[in-house]
Amino acid sequence: MSEPPVTASLPQAPAQALPQAIDPLAPGRPGRYDDHLVSVLRTSPPAARPPEPGFPAVTTEHFRLAEHGRRVEVSHWLCPGQLDNDLTGMLAAELFAPGWLSGAEIFERVFTGVVRSTIDDPLQAWCTFYGNTLARTRQCWRSGAPAGRTTTIAEFAPVYAHALELIPAGHVLDVGSCFGFLPLLLAERPANTVTGADLCGGAMCLLAAVAAARGVRVRTLVCDAARIPLPDDCAETVSVIHLLEHLPAARGAAVLREALRVARGQVVAAVPFEPKPEAAHGHVRTFDLPRLSELGEATGRNWSVHEHHGGWLVLAAG
């Protein structure tokens, strides 16, 4: 890829268009996904296609990228068996780390587009994505990470396993659930009742639909993690897994205060340890054990911190 990163100067979409939410289950045309910022198309690999003059602008191992007016156009040749959360690292490494694309907004839309364009039926596409991710998470638990490479699933598998170790029986409120892999894993345990909460309504709609399709019960709640519309002491455990790195310090502290209000037993928080915030994933700050200790001390509660594939802060809510 010797050409200059033409997508680094993509025109900005009109300001009034940016708040349009992603609907992961919206109907669309077969083999493609379109919204006001991106178009994503499933196509054949480059070797099987005749060259097209002036297009594409950039080709990577899995993607072809071009600029069409105010839209980013991404083509890919992934198959259903490749639909899993390792798509996160694939997009980051091939399109965002080199600077061809930037920003959490574009990342989320391209991610959604790849899933949606790979399988025509929206719910089937997402159920395949979730099923593959959870199956490969369990494979990591049994056999460890794939030899010689680091993947998103391999990075998160020990985080989910440790969260399951720390969270006891009872009602669990998971805030900042995003896709909701942890709520689904918790809900498979008969001793837990689970509520997943996130600011993104589309993510919670998707989690509810996939949970129902998988035959597990997960309640969902759309809310700000710093203003949870639930009574005091309503959950045995509140989990805050890989959320705080997305929030400025004052807002992160407010989320922990609200989690302590809602929890009657404990709050379990986890963060990644990374040298700098991963902008493609929306990270805005980094952590180490001393910084986690400062968060714990500031709550005025009993607390402990430890390291296990990142950092963990456990707060006593009682």
CA separation, residue 266 to residues 163, 187, 201, 217, 238 (Å): 12, 18, 26, 22, 7
Tell me, what's the pLDDT at 69?
72
Phi-psi region of 70 (alpha: psi -120 to 50; beta: other; left: phi over 0): alpha
Q: Which helix (H) or strand (E) holds 165?
A: helix 152-166
Tell me, what's the pLDDT at 5?
32
Tell me, what's the pLDDT at 57?
79
CATH architecture of 151-316: 3-Layer(aba) Sandwich (3.40)
Cβ contact 122:28 at 8 Å: yes
Write out the two tokens for 87.
């798509």
How many CB atoms are closer than 10 A to CB 109?
23
Tell me, what's the pLDDT at 147?
63
Measure CA of the first residue to CA of the last residue in the chain; give whole Å. Answer: 57
Task: Provide the residue-wise pLDDT of the chain in tens; the chain has 318 residues.
Answer: 333 333 333 333 333 344 588 999 999 999 999 999 999 999 998 876 655 555 557 999 999 999 877 788 999 999 999 999 999 999 999 999 999 999 888 999 999 999 999 999 999 999 999 999 999 999 999 988 776 667 999 999 999 999 999 999 999 999 999 999 999 999 999 999 999 999 999 999 999 999 999 999 999 999 999 999 999 999 999 999 999 999 999 999 999 999 999 999 999 999 999 999 988 788 999 999 999 999 999 999 999 999 999 999 999 997
CA separation, residue 258 to residues 48, 262, 315 (Å): 54, 6, 12
Non-local (6+) Cβ contacts of 169 within 8 A are 189, 191, 192, 236
76 bridge partner residues: 42, 63
φ and ψ of 272, to 5 deg: -80, 155
Query: What string of DSSP letters covers 17-29?
Result: GTTPPP-TT----
Domain ranges in the chain? Answer: 6-122, 151-316
Q: Which helix (H) or strand (E) holds 67?
A: strand 63-68
Tell me, what's the pLDDT at 18?
46
Tell me, what's the pLDDT at 70?
77
